[in-house]
Structure 1
Amino acid sequence: MANIVRNNLTTLKKTASYYLLHISVAAAVAYAVTGQLWMALTLSLLEPSVQAVAFFFHEKFWERRQRRQQATPAAALV
């Protein structure tokens, strides 16, 4: 587990900051729609939590894709 954290520290930091931003926006929207603080907090924690996990794997996919593109010789692209 520590190795996963060490190897993905930047992505995990980005995921955490995105998570906090997403919770804030989700809470504001949920409160505006429902007018209920408890409902807004519940919704704002559930949906961004799932999104944070998805974001992590989304980032890993794009990093792998970029590494593959950089490893491909330019002559092979022609």
Structure 2
Amino acid sequence: MTKTFTFAILHFSVAFTITYLLTGSIIIGGTVALVEPAVNTVVFYFHEKVWRKFEKNKQAGIISL
């Protein structure tokens, strides 16, 4: 759990820093640092579902999504 927590802090920090450097806005940087990881988490969930289906089909000899 510590590794996950430290990665989350790193992710938020990178998102904030990049956005702040591009916009100069603490508000926009903070918003992006909160929203982007949340959206990324949801997208990752669906990515994993599709990936598992792909691997299952590959094992069965079916090469389609």
- State the TM-score bracket (shorter-chain normalisation): 0.5 to 0.7
Structure 1: runs of 5 or more not aligned: 1-12, 74-78
Instruction: Name 2:16's counterpart in structure 1.
Output: 27
Higher RCO structure (Cα 8 Å, ≥6 apart): 1
The aligned runs of 1:59-74 (5 Å cut-off) are: 59-72=48-61
1-structure distance, mates of 2:51, 2:21:
34
Q: CA deviation at 1:67?
A: 1.2
Q: CA deviation at 1:69?
A: 0.9
2-structure distance, mates of 1:62, 1:22:
23
Task: Please give the TM-score of this superposition, normalised by the length of structure 1.
Answer: 0.56
Task: Please give the TM-score of this superposition, normalised by the length of structure 2.
Answer: 0.65
2-structure distance, mates of 1:58, 1:29:
25
Q: CA deviation at 1:34?
A: 2.0
Amino acid of the residue matched to residue 23 of structure 1? F
1-structure distance, mates of 2:46, 2:31:
24
1-structure distance, mates of 2:11, 2:46:
17
Counterpart pick for 1:37 among 21, 26, 40: 26
Q: Which has the larger radius of gyration?
A: 1
Instruction: Report % sequence identity.
Output: 38
Q: CA deviation at 1:70?
A: 0.8
